[in-house]
Chains A and B, each alone.
Chain A
Amino acid sequence: MLHKKLLGLATLAVATVAIAACSEQLEGGAACPLLCTNQPITLLDTTIDAVVVDTTVLGLPPIGSEAFMMLASHGDTLDARAIIRFDTLPGSYTKSGVDSTIVNIDTAQLVAPIVKPDSAHRPKAPITIEAYNVDTTGADTIAAVLGSLFRPGRLIGSKTFAPESLTDTLRIPISTDTVLDRVKSGARLRVGLRLVSSVGYNMQLGTVQSGSNAQLRIVASKDTAARPVLVSPLSTTPTDASFLADQLSDYSIVVRGATSTPAGLLGVGGVPSRRVYFRLSIPSHIVDSTSIVRASLLLTQMPNRRLNPKDSIFVFPSPIVAAPLVTDIKTALQFLGGAAEVGLDSLKLAPADSGVRSFEIVGLVRRWRLMDTTLSPRTLALRAGTEGQAPQEINFFSSRAGNAVRPRLRLTYAPQTSTGLP
């Protein structure tokens, strides 16, 4: 009996050890390099003039598609204003659950979310936001036309803000008579905002595009039971292109200070905002036959001290996802993929800085592997993170600049030479 139990226990022990033995501890390497016959694959490094086309395209993103509107006043250097369209105004309000026709307006207020300035971006002096009636039958997106409408006779409200009073929302009183007149007549109200300051300043207003748009707040009765009416921006023109009408619900215009990028340079950001287009040519024997581990687009930054020279912005390399049949560069630049989708990272740059900047685009270059250039053009864009929202412009030397400063592509790659044989 004892023997039988012992045999059973021994069998159980053997079975347990056998099952436990199936687990493995694989990782080794402490004995390297002595016992390691396998060597690391040698990386090769080369820098080539890969940029065959580079150009700056102004006016991107298109009017009305910026996430935030730029409202800026930098004296003669820059004057940027914001336009908000309320093309449909309600004729009634609710009091004690009952709809009533608006026959009087107690208060009218423009409630505009802004990007809350941190301590480094607070104005150095009080600022005034002026609101104008900019409704016109003329060309209603032309800066020169709209700029002329910002005159005293059209002023419908203003408010001065102390620097420390700027939080995340501006509340600007609007003329109740003007609003009531528009409500009663069923006409549209288009408000132009202008920043006035004794020192240069710029701020960012929320838009319909970002979901943080301004609203017109109308209180039609002193009765506390009367609910305020909140009106969101809406544009009914152009009537033949609803897509454009949506974008024009709110947008910014540059009345003064629009610039172009000098020849020989590339510009990102700025006023009006701009993007850079690159077309690269990379030897197929590298793209297709090796494993690229680093691809750095090397750009030499040229200082730009025009506006906010030390105020850094992010510059993003972005893949262009437009189909190859889109040959117009400006159109192609409107179809940008997410930088994170291909592992592209941004650089934070100040306009006044200089030196070589390295944009890491290995994730994008790897996607070109075994893809014909006619199907997958080797193109990418550079854009500013605050394009259309802030005036900073980052400049780089273009391929037409001198040999020492023109764009280059640095590639680090592993040739596929290991057969795996010992």
Chain B
Amino acid sequence: MTSLRSTGASLVRARGLTIAALLVGSAASARAQSNLSIQGFGFPTGQFSARTQGTGGALAESDPLTPINPAAIGAFQNRVLFFQLEPEFRSVKTPAGSEHTSTARYPVILGALPLGSHFVVGLSSSTFLDRTSTTSFLTRQILTGTDTVPMTTTYQIAGAMNDNRLALAWAPYQWLRVGAGAHAITGHNLIDITQTFADTIVFSSFNQKTIIGFSGGAASLGLQLVSKYASVAASARWGGSLRASVGDTVLGRANVPDEFGASFSILAIPNSSISVRTAHENWSVIRGLGTPGLVGVDGWDSSVGADIAGPRITNRTIFLRAGARKRTLPFQAAGATVRERSFSGGLGTTFANGRVMADVAAIRALRDADIAASERAWTLSFGVSVRP
């Protein structure tokens, strides 16, 4: 938290109070629970805006509200603030039964400011890995030969790694945008372990709190080529060092995963796009950050989707979105790689003479691994962008 605050403070000095306040606020990630998707250092939300979520992620390289490709913000012609809410409702099924849980996330906050007619600067904070979870389980420990004690262990983990990006885009021509980004990976995990006992006279419960702080850096470059009928976009992120520490003690060192992605969009239909995207992220480099048993899995994230200008209602264009996505989650569960398939749909429109844009998406995710457990989730994504 300390490192996050210091980052936030520097942003205040650089870009103004409003955006900095939003950035600090985004760091307070919501909560989730232990399941297939939250293994290792947590669940990668994808850093997608609600608009991109509606297309299954296919717009990630070209959507300026999605802090993936720094060139994308070159599309902004006005100042913009964007905020997103993303609750998820999950069901985990194992031979022990089913469990339904829900969590709320605030995965993306973004602000952008055009500088002249060719440059746009953007500041964003997005959830990189959300580890928030609460898990309770009952065990019986043998103390001596005949002396055993039943106890309930509760792990309450709150927090996330966040990707704070300062991006600059240059759009020298209408058909070309390039951009660069500097990333600060910050955040914390508050680990709250409580062990309680049924026999409260003989045994006294105990609680242990640890705050793990994360600090790291990365750099990214992006490109967009746009024509009347099609566009191509690509981005790459190079991970710098990443470390986990408690106070002054460094617990682990690793690298921020590298990522590259590319997309192709057909723009033949006015105000619409049909896109396909693929990206690769080498999560295996993060293993040094955790215990020796931590296994990060390199994986592809591919999607196809459409953002179509639909009917007009009260002079507003309603955008209809749909998409499908397939990806590998970054951390193994019980030694097995976790795969996710998802299908999504969404809507978007503008209000207040185009000053406010609202997007809604619903995502159905199917998560499986080669173990006797599966997870199904509904995620709702609400995004609001405001042009002050």
A33 within 8 A of B: yes
Question: Is the Cβ of B203 less than 8 Å from the Cβ of A30?
Answer: no
Interface stretch of the complex, out of B8-16, B56-64, B89-97, B119-127: B89-97
Interface stretch of the complex, out of A36-44, A242-250, A382-390: A36-44
Q: Please classify the interface of chain A as helix (H, G, I), strand (E, B), loop, or mixed, using the class held by over half of its residues.
A: loop
Q: Cβ of B186: which chain A residues have Cβ within 8 Å of it?
A: none
Q: Cβ of A343: which chain B residues have Cβ within 8 Å of it?
A: 204
Question: Is the Cβ of A6 less than 8 Å from the Cβ of B313?
Answer: yes
B99 within 8 A of A: yes
Question: Interface on B for A, CB 8 Å cutoff?
Answer: 30-36, 39-41, 85, 87, 92, 94, 96-104, 131, 133-137, 139, 141, 143-144, 147, 149, 151, 153, 155-157, 189, 191, 193, 195, 197, 201-208, 210, 212, 244, 246, 251-252, 289-291, 294, 313-314, 316, 331, 333-334, 358, 360, 371-373, 380, 382
**Residues 399-422 of A at the B interface (beta carbon under 8 Å):** 412, 414, 416, 418-422
Q: Cβ of B39: which chain A residues have Cβ within 8 Å of it?
A: 35, 37, 422
Question: Is the Cβ of B102 less than 8 Å from the Cβ of A293?
Answer: no
Q: Cβ of B139: which chain A residues have Cβ within 8 Å of it?
A: 40
Question: Is the Cβ of B316 less than 8 Å from the Cβ of A31?
Answer: no
Question: Is the Cβ of B30 less than 8 Å from the Cβ of A30?
Answer: no
A25 within 8 A of B: yes
Contact A26-B101, Cβ < 8 Å, known A31-B92, A33-B137, A420-B212: yes
Contact A38-B103, Cβ < 8 Å, known A14-B360, A31-B92: no
Question: Is the Cβ of A360 less than 8 Å from the Cβ of B193?
Answer: no
A32 to B32: give the CA distance in the assembly, Å: 15
Nearest neighbor of A18 in chain B, beta-carbon distance: B382
Question: Is the Cβ of B202 less than 8 Å from the Cβ of A21?
Answer: no
The contact sample of 19 A-B pairs, CB cut-off 8 A, is A4-B313, A18-B382, A26-B101, A28-B92, A29-B137, A30-B99, A32-B137, A36-B137, A41-B193, A291-B207, A363-B204, A412-B149, A418-B208, A419-B251, A420-B193, A420-B246, A421-B289, A422-B290, A422-B294
A226 to chain B, nearest CB (A): 56
Q: Which of B134, B206, B251 has the most CB of A within 10 A?
A: B206
B36 to chain A, nearest CB (A): 6
Q: Which of B36, B157, B334, B371 has the most CB of A within 10 A?
A: B334
Contact A31-B40, Cβ < 8 Å, known A22-B87, A420-B210: no
Q: Please classify the interface of chain B as helix (H, G, I), strand (E, B), loop, or mixed, using the class held by over half of its residues.
A: strand
Q: Which of B34, B97, B382 has the most CB of A within 10 A?
A: B34
Question: Is the Cβ of A31 less than 8 Å from the Cβ of B31?
Answer: no
A32 to B210: give the CA distance in the assembly, Å: 22
A342 to chain B, nearest CB (A): 10
B94 to chain A, nearest CB (A): 5
Contact A35-B291, Cβ < 8 Å, known A4-B314, A24-B104: no
Nearest neighbor of A43 in chain B, beta-carbon distance: B141
A172 to chain B, nearest CB (A): 43
Contact A26-B33, Cβ < 8 Å, known A6-B313, A421-B291: yes
Question: Interface on A for B, CB 8 Å cutoff?
Answer: 3-4, 6-7, 14, 17-18, 21-43, 45, 291-294, 296, 343, 345, 358, 360, 362-363, 366, 412, 414, 416, 418-422
Q: Cβ of A362: which chain B residues have Cβ within 8 Å of it?
A: 202-204
Question: Is the Cβ of B314 less than 8 Å from the Cβ of A28?
Answer: no
A306 to B94: give the CA distance in the assembly, Å: 64
Per a CB cutoff under 8 Å, which of B104, B201, B203, B252 touches A421?
A: B252
Question: Is the Cβ of B136 less than 8 Å from the Cβ of A29?
Answer: yes
Q: Which of B96, B371, B372 has the most CB of A within 10 A?
A: B96
A4 to B246: give the CA distance in the assembly, Å: 55
A3 to B39: give the CA distance in the assembly, Å: 45
Q: Cβ of A419: which chain B residues have Cβ within 8 Å of it?
A: 210, 212, 246, 251
Question: Is the Cβ of A36 less than 8 Å from the Cβ of B34?
Answer: yes
Question: Is the Cβ of A45 less than 8 Å from the Cβ of B147?
Answer: yes
Question: Is the Cβ of A41 less than 8 Å from the Cβ of B195?
Answer: yes
Question: Is the Cβ of A291 less than 8 Å from the Cβ of B208?
Answer: yes
Q: Cβ of B313: which chain A residues have Cβ within 8 Å of it?
A: 3-4, 6-7
Question: Is the Cβ of B314 less than 8 Å from the Cβ of A418?
Answer: no
Contact A32-B143, Cβ < 8 Å, known A21-B87, A343-B204, A418-B193: no
Q: Cβ of A414: which chain B residues have Cβ within 8 Å of it?
A: 195, 206, 208
Q: What 8 A-B pairs come out closest when comparing CB atoms?
A: A420-B191, A21-B87, A28-B33, A291-B206, A32-B137, A30-B99, A40-B153, A26-B134
A411 to chain B, nearest CB (A): 11
A24 to B134: give the CA distance in the assembly, Å: 11
Question: Is the Cβ of B195 less than 8 Å from the Cβ of A40?
Answer: yes
Q: Cβ of A28: which chain B residues have Cβ within 8 Å of it?
A: 33-35, 92, 99, 101, 133-136
Question: Is the Cβ of B294 less than 8 Å from the Cβ of A293?
Answer: no
A36 to B41: give the CA distance in the assembly, Å: 13
Nearest neighbor of B99 in chain A, beta-carbon distance: A30
Per a CB cutoff under 8 Å, which of B94, B134, B202, B360 touches A31?
A: B94
Question: Is the Cβ of A18 less than 8 Å from the Cβ of B35?
Answer: no
A359 to chain B, nearest CB (A): 10
A332 to chain B, nearest CB (A): 25
Q: Which of A22, A25, A30 has the most CB of B within 10 A?
A: A30
Nearest neighbor of B190 in chain A, beta-carbon distance: A420
Q: Cβ of B212: which chain A residues have Cβ within 8 Å of it?
A: 419-421
Nearest neighbor of B200 in chain A, beta-carbon distance: A343
Q: Cβ of A363: which chain B residues have Cβ within 8 Å of it?
A: 204
B169 to chain A, nearest CB (A): 30
A354 to B233: give the CA distance in the assembly, Å: 84
